Amino acid sequence: MTPVKSKLGISRPKVDRARRLAEGIVAPVQEFIEGHTTVTIERATLRLLGADGANADGVPVPNIIASQCGQRLAAGAATVYLNALVKLEKTAPSLNREIEKGLDISGLPLVSPERIREKAAELVKDLDARLAANTERRNARLTQWADKAGSPLIYVIVATGNIYEDVKQAQAAARQGADIVAVIRTTAQSLLDYVPFGPTTEGFGGTYATQENFRIMRAALDEAAEKEGRYIRLVNYCSGLCMPEIAAMGALERLDMMLNDSMYGILFRDINMYRTFTDQHFSRMINAAADIIINTGEDNYLTTSDAVEKAHTVLASQLINEKFAFNAGMPARLMGLGHAFEINPGVKNGFLYEYAQALMAREIFPDHPLKYMPPTKFMTGDIFKGLAMNTLFNFVSKATGQGIHLLGMLTEAIHTPYLQDRHLAIANALYVHNTMADFMGEVEFKKDGIMARRAAQVLDETIEMLAEVKRSGLMNAIETGMFAEIKRPRDGGKGLEGVYEKAQEYYNPVESYLKKKLNIDEKTAA
Amino acid sequence: MFIKPYGDTSDDGAVQLSFTLPIADCGKAREAARIYVQKLGFKTASIVHAQALSENFTFFVAYAKTDATLDYDKVEYAEAVAKYMTMDAVNEFIKTHFNRKLVIVGACTGTDAHTVGIDAIMNMKGYDHHFGLERYPMIEAYNMGSQVPNERLLARAKEVKADAVLVSQIVTQKDVHLKNLTELIELAEAEGLRGKLLMIVGGPRVDNKLAKELGYDAGFGTGTFAEHVATFVVKKLYDRLTSGK
Ligand code: B12
């Protein structure tokens, strides 16, 4: 990691101690993960091997195959699909069409394991080529337009519910100066145990994440990018019950970032913890292989808890997310660890605490493109004050060198952003970024001043919390409400029935490919 | 009393507006925006800022003056409670007049997943240094959290013999809150619970008037604290008690 001289006097040994605690917390969970698969991991595998489409009732082909497999999922769904391709001598698209029409592939006589492996090798090679082409295309554009890259990257959200309206708003935002566009997902998609198929125009508070919608928005942003001479990144939500499948779709369609947290689903969506932990690992391997930056969801802790009292829960979660991501073969440059500017604006010196905490995050995670999120909870109908709060947030973001800057909207407390709200937010950010372009290098902080003390305090509290979590174990800690003050029993929540212990003969060529590509066994063994 | 907006002199009728039109920014567009503001009923209008949002959208800021006046005395609005009691006063009031604990059940119902609002009213900790109902010695408070089906909220109210039900609605897109609140009231009526329960709604887009229109006893909006609701509940129950005598 790049050594940085701490402006806040942050103790390096303490940071190391916190990291070691996080490692100790993650290790036993990782052991569970390695021994298990889930129904959506199997569906994601099928997708990456070519399974796609949906039947007349809208049931996606990967789901149809998974139900045909039944308990055989424990041995991996890939065998069944590969076997059908070989046995019926079909290409993936034509097999998919047969399955849509009702063909059951689970009962077909098995061809030899060699022929299945051969087929797997062929499809995995195609997959690898597709991911490589996507990465190449992205990197080529980023290099070509490197002079236009601002810092931090300006991130805005579209959420109309209709992908075609989203396109208009996204293109307008790109023109105004946005670097990153996230299409917010419709309410409750995270609890669907399938990914809807095709383009969609009816969502609530957001738009369905479908592969076709990804494709439509990708094309729209590429078009806007050519016009602006700036690469525009596309973001979606790799979370919920279909986390790995969304990762797969995003990898295929060249998304650039994915919201992906190791614990968000458990805490805020009541998804079973065994399911989420297992899913996040596989989805992160896919993200890493596709060179997709993840954004973790630590901001959420501060919407239900007090941002001054519970600042350490953010750092604790970042360290846990970091370790899980590392275990999935993800380099630091792809870890957009989250944090947020959510202190009550009425708190005396609240700004100094925000500044200290943001700088602390920067110093503790020097190579990570930190995702910094704006005030939301204390935004009110007073849009004028809201704009002022957003300006201070923009200031801190620039002054601490954040990587991904999610813009606050002056109308946050009222509605999902209007076209003009987004414009005002971007104009504000561009103003701040420019007027204090080199501010960060100009300032130093008082030794033992308010900011240095604040950072030290948060770090101490983080270590204390991590030590406690390690003592009780991560799953117990979640059961007893140590994160976000929300309690989730380990056998509760949605999706537990979709978790399988891997059978002796478990076979997943995509997993093997990902592990090899990401050098995972070597890394975790080291 | 007749009133008009006040900019910098009495009755100048000055108003500030901002909006977006689906046209490209140009002189004609600004003129169109000015005429549009006049069409809204303003006497004079000036477009003080125009900014292209994309090739075919332009954002405008306008200042305008209006002739419209309003007779303030004819406006009808009743706050749920005129004067609020403190937590201690509420407790004393319950002790003196009821001789038992009052039971209150609350939830954020329907598909709405926001808990912070109902927690602010009900949880021990409260909100902005105002304790929540769980902290009130003379109130037995049950907070069921969010995404609670209306049926479950009412079932719980029945089970614990609640005096009042609190329902929180935060998401208002496409008027989902109105549909959900109507459903809850209809359910309560169908189950014969309505007369036995105070039914109170809260949320950022809720006010007392809306609540009454929907058939609730009271509504509370942004900036509500537990003591506001508590005052309403104890006063209203006391009224019912005494008028029933
Ligand atoms: C925190 C938050 C979240 C958190 C919620 C965490 C949690 N456990 O509650 C998370 C991240 C999960 C979330 C999710 C979503 N959110 Co949200 N969220 C917010 C946010 C930032 C703050 C809300 C809040 O906590 N306010 C603080 C509390 C204290 O205020 P309050 O709720 O108004 O409550 C006060 C009063 O209203 C009143 N009150 C409230 N309830 C009651 C009940 C009674 C009986 C009484 C007496 C009083 C009362 O008293 C309270 C104290 O004064 C708001 C924006 C904002 N600043 O308002 C958006 C906001 C409410 N969310 C919004 C949306 C769209 C969503 C999503 C649909 C997004 C999506 N596509 O997934 C999902 C909803 C999923 C679902 N099924 O509901 C929109 C709603 C738009 C609209 N008008 O409909 C908002 C306005 C943001 C925006 N501009 O887009 N959200």
Side chain identity at residue A3, one-letter code: P
Write the pLDDT tens digit of every residue in A397-422.
Answer: 999 999 999 999 999 999 988 999 99
Q: Considering the domain boundaries, does residue A397 fall inside one?
A: yes
Residue among A205, A377, A420 minimizing CB distance to B171:
A205
ipTM: 0.89
Point out the domain boundary residue: B42, B70, B98: B70
Quick one: tokens of A158?
């579209």
Residues B47 and B136 in one domain: no
Q: What angle do CA A451, A452, A457 make, to 5 degrees?
A: 95
Domain that residue B35 falls in: 2-70
Q: Considering the domain boundaries, does residue A503 fall inside one?
A: no
Q: Considering the domain boundaries, does residue A368 fall inside one?
A: yes
Q: Considering the domain boundaries, does residue A63 fall inside one?
A: no
Residue B161 known to be catalytic? no
Residue A526, pLDDT score = 39
- A1 — pLDDT class (breaks 50, 70, 90): very low
Residue A472, pLDDT score = 96
Residue A307, pLDDT score = 93
Number of folded domains that form chain A: 1
> What element of type H or E holds B164?
strand B164-168
Write the pLDDT tens digit of every residue in A82-106.
Answer: 999 999 999 999 999 999 999 999 9
Quick one: tokens of A62?
């990967």
Which domain CATH number covers A203? 3.20.20.440
A375 in contact with ligand 1, CB cutoff 6 A: no
Measured CB to CB, residues of chain A less than 8 Å from chain B are: 168, 171-172, 175-176, 187-188, 204-205, 303-304, 377, 380-381, 413, 415-416, 418-420, 423, 427
Point out the domain boundary residue: B30, B45, B70: B70
Question: What is the number of alpha carbons within 13 Å of residue A22 lying toward its C-beta?
Answer: 24
Write the pLDDT tens digit of every residue in B24-58.
Answer: 999 999 999 999 999 999 999 999 999 999 888 99
Q: Considering the domain boundaries, does residue A24 fall inside one?
A: no
Q: Considering the domain boundaries, does residue B9 fall inside one?
A: yes
Strand ranges across the sheet with A233-237? A335-336, A293-295, A257-259, A233-237, A180-183, A153-158, A404-406, A371-373, A338-340
Residue A522, pLDDT score = 55
Residues B65 and B92 in one domain: no
Taken as a whole, chain B contains a residue count of 245
Q: Which of B133, B153, B170 to mutate to test the pocket of ligand 1 (most atoms within 8 A of CB)?
A: B170
Residues B66 and B179 in one domain: no
Can you tell me the distance from the alpha carbon of A90 to that of B122, in angstroms, rounded to the nearest whole number? Answer: 61
Can you tell me the distance from the alpha carbon of A79 to that of A95, in angstroms, rounded to the nearest whole number? Answer: 14
B127 against A282, higher pLDDT: A282
Q: Considering the domain boundaries, does residue A349 fall inside one?
A: yes
Longest dimension (CA), chain A: 74
A519 in contact with ligand 1, CB cutoff 6 A: no
A141: nearest Cα among A254, A271, A38, A285: A254
Residues B117 and B171 in one domain: yes
Q: Considering the domain boundaries, does residue A504 fall inside one?
A: no
Q: What mean pLDDT comes out for the span B165-193?
A: 94
Q: B interface mutation test: which of A204, A268, A387, A420 has the most B CBs within 10 A? A: A420
Which domain CATH number covers B65? 3.30.30.60
Residue A253, pLDDT score = 98
Residues B171 and B214 in one domain: yes
Quick one: tokens of A511?
């997993």
- A4 — pLDDT class (breaks 50, 70, 90): low
Q: Considering the domain boundaries, does residue B75 fall inside one?
A: no
Residues B66 and B92 in one domain: no
Is the pLDDT score of A525 beyond 50?
no
CA distances from B22 to A172, A299, B19, B27 (A): 12, 35, 10, 14
Point out the domain boundary residue: B43, B70, B97: B70
Q: Considering the domain boundaries, does residue B81 fall inside one?
A: no
Which domain CATH number covers B184? 3.40.50.280
Domain that residue A241 falls in: 152-451
Q: Considering the domain boundaries, does residue B78 fall inside one?
A: no
Looking at the complex, does the CB of residue B71 fall below 8 Å from at least one CB of chain A?
Answer: no
Among protein residues, the one with the nearest Cα to ligand 1's atom 38 is B203
Q: What mean pLDDT comes out for the span A283-287?
A: 98
Residues B183 and B215 in one domain: yes
Total-model pTM: 0.93
Side chain identity at residue A241, one-letter code: L
Q: What mean pLDDT comes out for the span A430-454?
A: 96
Write the pLDDT tens digit of every residue in B98-148.
Answer: 989 999 999 999 989 899 999 999 999 898 889 999 999 999 999 999 999
Residues B112 and B31 in one domain: no
